[in-house]
Amino acid sequence: MSPLVSIVVPVYNVKEYLEECLDSIDAQTYDNVEIVIVDDGSTDGSRDVCESFAAKTKRAVKILSQDNAGLSAARNTGIDSCAGDYVVFVDSDDVLSPLYVEALVSAVRESGCAMATIRRVDGFLDGHRPVLENDPARARRFSVLGEEKYQKDLLYQHAFNGAPWRIFKRDFIDEGYFPVGLYYEDLATTYKYVHGKGDVAVLESETLYGYRFRKGSIIRSGFSERKVESAVFVTDELVRNIHEWYPSLDAAAASRQFSVCRLVYATLGKGHEDARAELWGRIAATRRVVLADPEARKREKAAAAAACLGRGAFGAFCKAYRLYKVRH
């Protein structure tokens, strides 16, 4: 019998996108699913969209409500209500290929791996329509990576880190829910779910999941104290754990910490000296490791070279790179 897959959809003020997302879940070719929708205190009518969807679909649907507590808390609420053997997360402003869940389930069953994932995701800009996979043969193609190799790919960002782009065994998640009150919740958890689980099945298609780039999203938005605190806490823990579990990946972990702290540092305006000092401490501690690492990404090596020249040069690099990203 096909395993039951729980699809967890956290929802917060996404009425504009929600119907398209839910319809793409409803269109999945894999039949044995339950859809667990968590309304995280929406105020824009998103709840009405959820109820309309539940009334028209033949799928099993649970709609849960809670006061606004953030993405991690909403995911955790969904996990607690899951009945499935496997769990898939979907962000409520994204869209799926109809073959998405089928491809993930096929990969874990054929490979014998405990997790299947997409290496990278073909994102699309808000206002555009994504081109999604529609060929079953292409959708099911996968390769198998060893645990440490896959961790290395995550750290160097050769593989995307997001929780929505993979299928988990349900009991994986019992070992550590998403951290409430922090940004970078995917970075804080995915590598932990991979640790100790063996090989990972990696789907080749990059168009099974349509990831929407929206203005004002959490990670792409500007400075906040919580973002600084999250970057420091999450990456410090990552560096410690990777050193304990995979000491050969110390340089890769340093590269990941440098990358996150660089991105947050670039959001700082005038002032915020405590935050600047906190981030600069991590940047200074990892810059020479990144610069000397032949496997580090080119943009991180360029940023590390600027950081070796001091705060002024590094700040100028961050400003120039931020302007470049805005224009492109």
Q: 118, 150 in Cβ contact below 8 A?
A: no
Could you tell me the pTM of the whole model?
Answer: 0.93
Give the span between the Cα atoms of 304 and 286, in whole angstroms: 8
Strands (E), 136-236: 142-145, 166-169, 200-203, 209-210, 212-213
Phi/psi at 231 (nearest 5 deg)? -60, -45
Q: Which residues of 153-185 are buried (b: 16+ CB within 10 A; e: fewer)?
A: bbbbeebbbbbbbbbbbbebbeeebbbeebbbb
Give the mean pLDDT of 265-291: 92
Whole-number pLDDT of residue 325: 63
Q: What is the pLDDT of residues 184-213, one digit of tens each?
A: 999 999 999 999 999 999 999 999 999 998
Q: Is the pLDDT of residue 23 over 90?
A: yes
pLDDT at residue 314, rounded to an integer:
95
Does pLDDT of 219 surpass 50? no
Arithmetic mean of pLDDT, 233-261: 98
Residue 202: exposed, middle, or buried by beta-carbon count in 10 A (0-12, 13-18, 19+)?
buried
pLDDT at 186: 95
Domains of the chain by range and CATH?
Answer: 5-213 (3.90.550.10), 225-327 (no CATH)
DSSP 8-state secondary structure symbol assigned to residue 181: T
Mean pLDDT of 227-256: 97
Taking only the tens place, the pLDDT of each residue in 123-159 is 888 878 888 999 999 999 999 999 999 999 999 999 9
Helix (H, G, I), strand (E, B) or coil at 61: strand
Compute how many other C-beta atoms are within 10 angstroms of the C-beta atom of residue 320: 12
